[in-house]
Amino acid sequence: MKLVFATNNKNKIKEVQSLMPEGIHLLSLEEIGCHEDIPETSPTIEGNAIQKAEYVKEKYGYDCFADDTGLEVAALNGAPGVYSARYAGEEKSSDANIGKLLNELEGKEDRSARFKTVIALHLKGKFHTFEGICAGNIIFERKGLQGFGYDPVFQPEGKSETFAEMNLSEKSKISHRGRAIRKLIDFLDHLNS
């Protein structure tokens, strides 16, 4: 089965393809000739995922899934949330986003946070959504060189390393995206059985 994963983020594609069972081949937006920025104008993470999947299905005709992820920090009333990628500006700089986050948390005792991923699957004319959550804390300085986004400052509950200090398979076992993807895979397996 060919499915479009509505992203051009090569890190995400690599992470997700590593979790997919045999027989499911992911296509990136680039591979289907989609080079435009897909609108993400919903005020919710779920809404953005649905919007992206719908856009690909309508414009390109492919069954598709899209994800949207937000980092929700308790002391910041859930911010950056749906604006996580653009927290420090439209250029989507991970380094600037982390810098802003650490500044906003200066002097705050509660550093609890959670990553939330919602995957929207547009398959055979129907929508299905899958959610994954990973709770943890924002540490005081960047650690690790793996991963992307806020990974260098996010330490999952029960772990002594940040996501950026874990290899891909370690991270995928416990991450928000890994959890949502496993729900998607279970659903696809059930369809094929």
Provide the annotated active-site residues.
Answer: 68
- Residue 159 assigned to a binding site: no
- Residue 154 assigned to a binding site: no
How would you class 161 by CB atoms within 10 Å of its CB: exposed for 0-12, middle for 13-18, buried for 19 or more? middle
- Residue 127 assigned to a binding site: no
- Residue 95 assigned to a binding site: no
- Residue 55 assigned to a binding site: no
Beta strand pairing call for 25-27 and 2-5: parallel
**152 CB neighbour count, 10 Å cutoff:** 22
- Residue 129 assigned to a binding site: no
Q: Which residues of 47-86 are buried (b: 16+ CB within 10 A; e: fewer)?
A: bbbbbbbbbbbeeeebbbbbbbbbbbbebbeebbbbebbe
Give the span between the Cα atoms of 65 and 48, in whole angstroms.
12
- Residue 10 assigned to a binding site: yes
Beta strand pairing call for 80-81 and 64-73: antiparallel
- Residue 9 assigned to a binding site: yes
Question: What would the two tokens of residue 42 be?
Answer: 């919903």
- Residue 192 assigned to a binding site: no
Residue numbers belonging to the annotated binding site: 7-12, 68-69, 148-151, 171, 176-177
Residue numbers belonging to the annotated binding site for substrate: 7-12, 69, 148-151, 171, 176-177
Residue numbers belonging to the annotated binding site for Mg(2+): 68
